[in-house]
Structure 1
Amino acid sequence: MLAPFRRLTLRPSHLRSCLQHLRCSIKQIGVKRVIYLDYNATTPVDPEVQRVMEPFFNERFGNTLAVSSPYGWEAQEAVESCRRKIAGILACQPDELTFTSGATEANNWALRGLVDFIRTTEGPQTPIHILSSPVEHSSILSPLRFLQEIGVTVEFLEVTKEASIRLEDLKAKIRPETRLVCAVWVNSELGTLNPIREIAEICHHAQIPLLADATQALGKFPVSLAASPADLVSFSAHKLYGPKGVGLLFHRRHGRKVQLRPLLYGGGHEEGLRSGTLNVPGIVGMAKAMELADARLEENRQCWLRLQKELWDGLCSIDPGVRLNGPPLGQRSPTNLHVTFSSWTSQSVIPGLAISQGAACNSANIEMSAVLRALNFTDAEAQRSFRISMGKPTTQDDIQQAIRIVQKYVR
């Protein structure tokens, strides 16, 4: 049960080694342009997003807590306007949204803030049991490891071969002392969509809150916190053509209230829940990015689905033994393919193509991802596995060039 908590580190020296290898490889073969197909890792800022952010770096640079001047009033009104806009998109109340530095902070706060509240109000020896899928993002798995160290019991749920939670196993493992369930909305590696509504119904029947990381769901699937009533939901802007360094936590405060203690203390921002000067340009950019994603959801989905099929057909043509990991086409994230090739050269970095390997590069070895380890991939399979993720800038020409590049490394 402890396998997902194996400590993963990427030291600066290892990172420098990877970058040096990449630069040398690109120089040797004379690559002039790298095809970017790693949009699940991060996305470029949309020009419309950048445009609305720009005034808040200079002309409208006020601090939201500087309430004695028009600069502060203007900044505060911009933040509250964004909060209302985002609440409308997500079908929740504005006071249930707290801005953070990203989904990592939001997930840490949800986990540690809940445990801190329980132990503060019910006593430090109160038994706490948390259920989680073993294929969560590291911003869930790492805090869970910390909570284990301070006496919280963490138990992992069974997942299917496609990495979705088995609902019967969830029902069977709930205990009287279970205080939280963690279930990623869309898996960032395999593109698997968890049955969040059904998971939430099971949790609410047992009066247990549900934490769902929706970072990879937003902009690819409809995300309604009324239709899929999770209690704690994290988001990050940079996966959505917004800026880096900003995100938010939905924290249900009406009906089934979930109480959290703050993770950060200081100036009392965000009603005392999250201290720290608000990133006003980032918040403005995140709201615009969510607005654009919501308005163009179906248009973007249809484009991605066409490119996804073209890419999969092309990979099958160059490697008939290639395996699609996760759900079949049409039942997975429209931007994602996760594949294992039948054979592959020892290249850890592919010159001319930016995609994610199923194992992390460092100077000494290849480290398998926690998701693939939970699905019992062998080391050899992980080294032949890649996540390829498309985005708004991806073109048909990008797909065809990527297929030609990959063909060079399939033995």
Structure 2
Amino acid sequence: MDFAYDARTEELREKLLAFMDEHVHPAETVAEEQRALLASPWDTPPVVEELKAEAKRQGLWNLFLPDAEYGAGLTNLQYAPLAEITGRSPQLAPTALNCAAPDTGNMELLAQFGDEAQKKQWLEPLLSGEIRSAFAMTEPEVASSDATNIETRIRRDGDDYVVDGRKWYISGAMNPDCRIFIVMGKTDPDGPDLRRQQSMILVPRDTPGVEVRRAMRVYGYEDHYHGGHAEVIFDGVRVPAANIVGEEGGGFAIAQARLGPGRIHHCMRLIGMAERAVELMCRRAVSRTAFGKTLAQQGVVQNWIADARVTIEQLRLLVLKTAWLMDTVGNRGAHTEIQAIKIATPRAVVDIIDKAVQAHGAGGVSQDTPLAELWAAARTLKLADGPDEVHQRSLARRELKKYL
């Protein structure tokens, strides 16, 4: 078995590591200082636009998209170690490289299922970083972990569709550059096939009847860099019938195609977050003294560090295996592994970050380190893209099927 990265991956890793050290990490403090001076907390700090321009200049742009016509043409296996590096600064690095959710999933969706007009109007400006987007699926009134529950209605009316519904935790919707929503709702709510009731439709943000009602916080954080998470009301929103993505009734299948790569991208970045936490924990351990010894000399802290290293190495191998399977046998063939990493990675990374917080004492829960915000992001990923329990249920069924 060959665990080495290929030549192109190594070249991009070196460039990206240098970009992180020279541009991204120094910009973290600058971005926060600039945000405090902005007219709106949802406006983009100028340093972020500088990072995007530099990333474009260095060819570190749209690395996530395997379609060479639109993106870098990297395989999942090639992209995995790059996404891990961006996870070390999850607020800045993915955005700087135009590799941030939800835009990544929306671009993949449009590239795969959009028609030529939809690609021209929405995919091209997303690829160039001129606009942002949002994916409107989750609803407050139903268990959205089961997508067949969705109640938003997409009703055909002549040459138009009319959209009515209430969504929340719609990532990216607070960003003033968010110009387009991809909305999932039911076009055939009484249809016999639960997985053919839903469709996806493109709704421009400025369409009458679209109301971005409020920002939803995540453990008290508003996640400004990703454009926040909003509650959005669609009240009699009328759009042309040509705005349907793919075919009517294809929304469930499109959602599954979109979520597969999204899940592995999250897990890749989580490993980078864990590496950042371990680095901070080790620096703290060698510099802080308690009860006459440095923390690095305390057995319990040594155990935390050792366990974290073992866990990260295990997770990385599982994620790389999953990426390889997605490249070789497709998302369906890698279904078990995609679910396995989605279960294992957030759970383990939350624990690693938590130990780093503990090592920092009160400072660990403060704004003076990135640890508290990293913890909130990692903990949220036990829910996002399907809660752990849904993946466990599906994975267990697949295992049990062998014995039935």
Common fold: TM-score over 0.5: no
TM (norm. structure 1) is 0.26
